[in-house]
Structure 1
Amino acid sequence: MPRSILADTSTMATSIFRQALPSTVREIRLHFSPTQANQVKSLIHSNYSSIKSSNPDLPILFRESFVGTPARAIVRFEYGVEKQVSLEQAKSSSEIESLLSDLIQGKN
């Protein structure tokens, strides 16, 4: 039975965390409010060890902000260039992972 196209794109989006990230990525920061802590904690539990094993020198920071502070992901690239994406609409850890993947690959 053939796999659906949707399943393939989902796998492609999440596969970036199972391998070494581009060398231009210098840091990943996740800022989240206590109301969104469950999605981010789920992402940490399911992917942190694989990300760190593939990228041992990459700083990955998780910051809990004040209530009302918008959740966002920030990726710092070489030469101090930072790109960010809002995580406010993300309903699951897989959506957060997909948003991060798009940000790292330059799709945002």
Structure 2
Amino acid sequence: MSWRSHLSRNLKELRFLFCQTSSASSHTREFVQKNYTDLKTLNPKLPILIRECSGVEPQLWARYDMGVERCVRLDGLTETQINEKLEELAKAGAALKG
């Protein structure tokens, strides 16, 4: 998982959106609880935002250079699948840099 330490090279910001109570957001909440510290330790200058809103579908947003943003819906995904989506967003950032 060395790609995790390169998030700040490929992303300008990372945002997790989820509901505090819904079962649809449960895996996203668990992922954030288990992985936030590691992600922040490896990328101390990368803004990692946690946005909780009642009734919202779980989403992961990545902001790249020049204001380009990409969103991935996380509804129904397991923690492993969420990790894979995060890796895809990181690799997309590397591809955007060319």
TM-score in terms of structure 2 length: 0.77
* Residues 1:96 and 2:82 are matched in the alignment: yes
Q: Tell me the equivalent position of 2:51.
A: 63
Output the CA distance in 2 between the equivalents of 1:15 and 1:27: 18
Q: Give the CA deviation at 1:65.
A: 2.0
**TM-score w.r.t. length of structure 1:** 0.71
**Residue-by-residue CA offset, 1:46-98 (whole Å, 9 max, x unaligned):** 2212211111011111111221x3221100011111011111131x2221111
| Number of aligned residues | 91
User: Are 2:66 and 1:79 aligned?
Assistant: yes
| Superposition RMSD in Å | 2.0
Matches within 5 A, 1:1-108: 14-17=1-4, 19-33=5-19, 34-35=21-22, 36-67=24-55, 69-90=56-77, 92-106=78-92
Cα displacement (A) at 1:22: 4.9
Question: Structure 2: which 5+ runs fail to align?
Answer: 94-98
Counterpart secondary structure, 1:21: helix
In the superposition, relative to structure 1, how do residues 101 and 26 fare at CA in structure 2: closer, same or farther (>3 Å)?
same
Unaligned runs of 5+ in 1: 1-13
Relative contact order, CA 8 A, sep 6+: which one is greater? Answer: 2
- Greater share of helix: 2
Identity %: 27
